[in-house]
Amino acid sequence: MILVILWLTQDLLTVFTGGGMEVPGLFMLGIVCRLLLDDGSGDGSLWAIWSAFAGGILWDLRWVGIPGFFTLGYVLVVLIVIQVWGMIPPQGRVSGTGLLVFVLLECSQLLPPMLPVLILGGSTGWGYFLVQQAWSLPAILMAMYIYLRIARDRKV
């Protein structure tokens, strides 16, 4: 339910900016945080892949108009996070891995908006991309704070 709220919040922020500015990917931050907090019991990665796929398709149809750009980026981010986080043994996933958490959260903000710019090209796309990265930093730091707080409470 929280992912739906994050997707709608991201959509409303885009509406308020008139679609002229890339807003932070709150939806992807939510997926990555939940993946990082997953305890590894059950099939924790399948929900993330399907959530990223569905959220990406909806985002593409709503704003981009060409299905596949953000969908590819969202699913690619989930696969990278699953692979990188899975290489760390559960005993090593302590809250001291703040730099790795920051890199994974930043990856969720870099890849999806970069793919349309790289595929379609164009000089104006880089300006939107840089503004989106500037707006993403506070959201990334907030997501990192939430992750570290929950990890500390769970004694991860």
What is each CA distance from 15 to 23, 30, 46, 134, in whole angstroms?
10, 20, 30, 19
pTM score, whole prediction: 0.86
Residue pair 147/36 in contact by the 8 Å Cβ criterion: yes
Residue boundaries of the structural domains of the chain: 2-154
Residue pair 28/74 in contact by the 8 Å Cβ criterion: yes
Report d(CA 19, CA 14) in Å as an integer. Answer: 5
The tens digit of pLDDT for each residue in 60-106 reads 888 777 788 889 999 999 999 999 888 888 777 775 578 888 999 99
Say if domain 2-154 classifies as CATH 3.40.630. Answer: no
**What is the gyration radius of the CA atoms in the chain, in angstroms?**
15
pLDDT bucket at 125, cuts 50 / 70 / 90: low
Q: What percent of the chain has pLDDT over 90?
A: 33
Closest CA to 97 of 109, 88, 106: 88
Dig out the tokens for 133 from the structure: 């990265």
CB atoms < 10 A from the CB of 146, how many? 14
